[in-house]
């Protein structure tokens, strides 16, 4: 049985390396099949106003990560007190770099 490894999650900010005219985008929908070997898709809304759908399975050779999609990196992810997901931001100081 092959498990699906997702590249993008809901709310991730992205850009397409080869299509600057699209602008930046945000993941607005993630669709994962419950069938073994099924597809894993992601829908992204770009600044040009178009939603585009991509393969989101890192196990696939057609994954958007291998096709030039870049994700904005967040140093960590956590949960706030309400239990919802939120990005965790960290500040580096000169004392912490040594």
Question: Could you tell me the two tokens for 7?
Answer: 């590249």
Query: Higher pLDDT residue, 56 or 34?
Result: 56
Q: Is the pTM of this model over 0.75?
A: no
Q: Domain locations in the chain? A: 13-97
pLDDT in tens, 22-47: 999 999 999 988 887 788 999 999 99
Cβ contact 40:4 at 8 Å: yes
How large is the C-alpha radius of gyration of the chain? 16
Query: Higher pLDDT residue, 5 or 64?
Result: 64
Q: What is the pLDDT, as a whole number, of residue 60?
A: 87
């Amino acid at each position: 049985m092959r498990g699906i490894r997702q590249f993008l999650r809901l709310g991730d900010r992205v850009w397409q390396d080869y299509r600057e005219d699209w602008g930046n985008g945000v993941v607005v929908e993630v669709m994962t099949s419950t069938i073994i070997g099924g597809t894993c898709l992601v829908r992204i809304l770009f600044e040009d106003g178009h939603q585009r759908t991509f393969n989101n399975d890192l196990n696939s050779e057609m994954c958007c990560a291998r096709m030039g999609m870049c994700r904005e990196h967040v140093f960590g992810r956590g949960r706030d007190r309400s239990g919802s997901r939120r990005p965790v931001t960290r500040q580096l100081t000169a004392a912490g770099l040594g």
